[in-house]
Amino acid sequence: MRQIVTGRTLIVSLGILILLTSACGKRRTTAASARPAPARPGTTEVGYASWYGDPYHGRRAANGEIYDKHQMTAAHRTLPFDTLVSVLNLDNQREVRVRINDRGPFIAGRIIDLSQAAAEGIAMIGPGTAKVRLEVLSGGPAPGPDRFAVQIGAFREPDSAEQLQRRMAARYGGAYIEEVRTDQGLLYRVRVGPKPSLTEAQQLAASLERENFSSLIVRVDSTVRN
């Protein structure tokens, strides 16, 4: 039997079609925004490199791997894990390629912490640090949405860290403490945030620096409690 389509039926059908199309479009947008963009190849950064070997050799790196000082790896505060980076020693023009698998260095003025093997490759074992130029070669996205926090302090005493964390949470809407085990015992790092983009984290860092805090922007790789 032939179906008769009235004007009212046509309007209702078109309305349903529009709603379904909008819903599909919304799902695609949400899924895309939840996936972080990989580091853009060609991105460069200039600053000081340091290196680490023992006693970190054999310990777990930030991405879950066991750190091996003989592998060509490095720690960076914001680049996604598995980003491949070339590191050029500006003093001697020696260059190595490393894969980011750890977080650090947590010292102002330093931009990358090389494995012992990578440091040997650019002849910076003796000096301990060197001015370098980083260039992103390729990279994969982090496992979750982009989030960045601003580290403003590290304490041996938990009470000091908790006082600062509460003050920052009240002023900036969020702050947390990350506990890190070191050879000297637990270290309590106070971080403000997180923020959903590097730009917002940079703006937050600028505000904190105006209050005379020394700020370090760090990618948040796991769920934190605000």
Ordered domains of the chain (ranges, CATH): 44-138 (2.40.40.10), 148-219 (3.30.70.1070)
Of the candidates 197, 74, 91, 196, the residue with the CA atom closest to the CA atom of residue 136:
74
Q: pLDDT of 173-195, one tens digit each?
A: 999 999 988 777 889 999 999 99
Q: Can you name the residues that pair with 191 across neighbouring β-strands?
A: 151, 176
pTM of the model: 0.76
**pLDDT per residue as tens digits for the range 130-152:** 999 999 998 766 567 889 999 99
State the SS3 of 10-27.
HHHHHHHHHHHHHHHHHH
Least confident of 13-22, 68-77, 176-185: 13-22
Q: Which of 36, 64, 222, 61 lies closest to 191, judged by CA?
A: 222
* Contact predicate 209/202, CB 8 Å: no
Q: Which of 221, 48, 15, 31 is nearest to 128 (CA)?
A: 48
- How far, in Å, CA of 161 to CA of 191, rounded? 10
Q: In the predicted model, what is the mean pLDDT of residues 154-168?
A: 95
